[in-house]
């Protein structure tokens, strides 16, 4: 049953005493062949260890079983969870996942999409809504379900599964204000469009509450890291020593900021409130536990795949769906300034 030479349909057919096309049908649509033949074919398949050749199938049908996934980073925990949801959702189906990594570069994304679209994918899942015009053109004209994830688009090219990062940031910022913090600051890394939307949410709430100050904003285009969070807090304290709370662009920064606060013997949450974003597992375990905004990363992956498979099942003509998966502020000790 091992053996490394390929077994073809024809060989299975010969062994089962039927024609090749019948074997093909027995495998793909077991319902339409007779019980007897199906059993014979199954036995032959098992005996020879036959595995279909996907390339031949693809060539013959012009449709692949590959769901292309385009994300900006594979090391970022957020996308790792999304991808995990995608893989789990694909498990047990006939689909395969093909990952593409844009490294946060719109032009690399364009290149990846060009390649993907030339391979007649079964579906396409892309992170974000900030594609280039050319990328959007490709997505609009490609003949397969397309799902944008992470965010909600006012003008989606296909389906959309995500949440409003702007609203989520507003929520978190309002929480800081509610907790009594009056000199709130912002720590941001990478500053990609998604981050900037979070920043606007923060800024608007802070301004409305009259607690916004440019001096308390520390951002960089450098990729995020825990170490960077420490540095950014150090920079912020240098510029604005009176800051009493920070909203961090993501949890790495928040954790780094917590460590820096510990180094400086700044008590969290009393002297400094810290709020992160994403709610990675580690921030809930921190001491003190860090407040963060949970976003349903894993679910986004799963549901994106669902939309793709549904789109294929309904043969394309189902309406564009926009799923707002929301977010959840998880208030923890790091922002518990008021007694509770």
Backbone angles phi, psi at 85, to 5 degrees: -60, -40
Instruction: Of 219, 237, 217, give the one whose Cα is nearest residue 228.
Output: 219
Q: What are phi and psi of 259, to 5 degrees?
A: -60, -40
Tell whether residue 9 is a contact of DNA (CB under 7 A): yes
Residue 10 touches which member of a second copy, DNA, none, C-beta under 5-8 Å by kind: DNA
Query: Closest separation between CB of residue 220 and a second copy, Å?
Result: 16
CB closer to DNA, 25 vs 198: 25
Around Cβ 115, how many Cβ atoms within 10 Å? Answer: 13
In whole angstroms, give the CA distance from residue 183 to residue 187: 13
Question: Going residue by residue from 32 to 51, which x/- string records binding to DNA, judged by CB under 7 A?
Answer: xxx-xx------------x-
Q: How many CB atoms lie within 10 A of CB 329?
A: 17
Looking at beta carbons only, is 19 or 267 nearer to DNA? Answer: 19
Q: Count the site residues for DNA by CB under 7 A.
A: 28
Residue 325's binding partner, choosing from DNA, a second copy, none, with beta-carbon cut-off 5 to 8 A by kind?
A: none
Q: Which is nearer to a second copy, 101 or 310 (CB)?
A: 101
Whichever of 10 and 208 has its CB closer to DNA, that residue is 10
27 makes contact, choosing from DNA, a second copy, none, with CB < 5 to 8 Å by partner type, with DNA
Q: Which does 287 bind (CB under 5 to 8 A by kind): DNA, a second copy, none?
A: a second copy
Among 1, 60, 133, 238, binds DNA (CB under 7 A): 60
Between helix 35-48 and helix 20-28 the angle, nearest 10°, is 100
Instruction: Give 263's contacts (C-beta < 8 A, 6+ positions apart).
Output: 230
Cis ω for the linkage preceding 269 (within 30 of 0): yes
Helix (H, G, I), strand (E, B) or coil at 222: coil
Chain centroid, CA 111 distance in Å: 19
Identify the DSSP state of 136: H
- From a second copy, DNA, none, interface partner of 84 (C-beta below 5 to 8 A by class): a second copy
Return the one option of DNA, a second copy, none that residue 139 interacts with (CB less than 5 to 8 A, by type): none
* Residue 28 within binding range of DNA, rule CB under 7 A: yes
Angle ∠(115,116,120) on CA atoms, nearest 5: 120
Q: Are strands 292-294 and 328-330 parallel, antiparallel or unpaired?
A: antiparallel
Pick one of a second copy, DNA, none as the site partner of residue 43 (Cβ within 5 to 8 A by kind): none
Phi, psi dihedrals of residue 218, rounded to the nearest 5°: -125, 110
State the residue for tokens 């300034």: 337
Residues facing residue 254 across a β-bridge: none
Asked whether position 312 contacts DNA by CB under 7 A, the answer is no
Residue 57 as a binder of DNA (CB under 7 A): the answer is: yes
Question: Does residue 22 belong to the site contacting DNA (CB under 7 A)?
Answer: yes
* 175 closest CA partner among 184, 187, 166: 184
| List 30, 46, 47, 59, residue binding DNA (CB under 7 A) | 59
Residue 219 interacts, among a second copy, DNA, none and using kind-specific CB cut-offs from 5 to 8 Å, with none
In angstroms, the CA 245 to CA 248 distance is 10
What is the smallest separation between the CB atom of 97 and a second copy, expressed in angstroms?
7
Select from DNA, a second copy, none the partner in contact with residue 37, using the beta carbon and a kind-dependent cut-off of 5 to 8 Å. DNA
Chain positions contacting a second copy, by CB under 8 A: 2-4, 6, 51-56, 58-59, 64, 74-75, 77, 80-81, 83-84, 87, 96-99, 101, 114-115, 117-120, 137-138, 141-143, 225-227, 229-230, 252, 255-256, 259-260, 262-263, 281-282, 284-287
Distance CA 278, CA 252 (A): 9
Residues that bind DNA (CB under 7 A): 6, 8-10, 17-22, 24-25, 27-28, 32-34, 36-37, 50, 52-53, 56-57, 59-62
């Amino acid at each position: 049953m091992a053996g490394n030479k390929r077994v073809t349909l024809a060989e299975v057919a010969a062994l089962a005493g039927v024609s090749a096309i019948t074997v093909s049908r027995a495998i793909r649509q077991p319902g339409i062949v007779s019980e007897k033949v199906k059993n014979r074919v199954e036995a032959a398949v098992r005996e020879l260890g036959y595995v279909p050749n996907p390339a031949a199938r693809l060539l013959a049908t012009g449709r692949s079983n590959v769901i292309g996934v385009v994300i900006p980073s594979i090391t970022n925990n957020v996308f790792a969870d999304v991808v995990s949801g995608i893989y789990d959702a694909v498990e047990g189906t006939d689909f395969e996942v093909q990952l593409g990594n844009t490294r946060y570069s719109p032009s690399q994304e364009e290149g990846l999409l060009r390649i993907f679209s030339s391979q007649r994918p079964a579906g396409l899942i892309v992170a974000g809504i900030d594609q280039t015009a050319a990328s959007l053109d490709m997505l609009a004209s490609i003949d397969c379900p397309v799902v944008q994830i992470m965010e909600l688009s006012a003008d989606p090219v296909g389906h959309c599964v995500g949440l409003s990062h702007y609203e989520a940031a507003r929520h978190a910022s309002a929480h800081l204000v509610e907790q009594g913090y009056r000199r709130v600051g912002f720590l941001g890394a990478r500053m990609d469009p998604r981050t900037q939307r979070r920043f606007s949410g923060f800024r608007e709430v802070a301004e409305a509450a009259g607690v916004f100050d440019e001096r308390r904003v520390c951002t960089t285009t450098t990729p995020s890291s825990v170490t960077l969070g420490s540095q950014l807090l150090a920079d912020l304290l240098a510029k604005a020593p009176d800051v009493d709370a920070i909203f961090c662009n993501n949890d790495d920064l928040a954790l780094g900021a917590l460590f820096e606060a510990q180094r400086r013997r700044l008590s969290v949450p009393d002297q400094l409130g810290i709020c992160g974003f994403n709610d990675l597992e580690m921030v809930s375990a921190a001491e003190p536990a860090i407040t963060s905004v949970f976003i349903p990363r894993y679910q986004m992956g799963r549901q994106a795949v669902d939309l793709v498979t549904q789109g294929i099942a309904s043969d394309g003509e189902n309406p564009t769906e926009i799923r707002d998966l929301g977010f959840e502020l998880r208030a923890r000790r790091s922002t518990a300034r008021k007694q509770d």
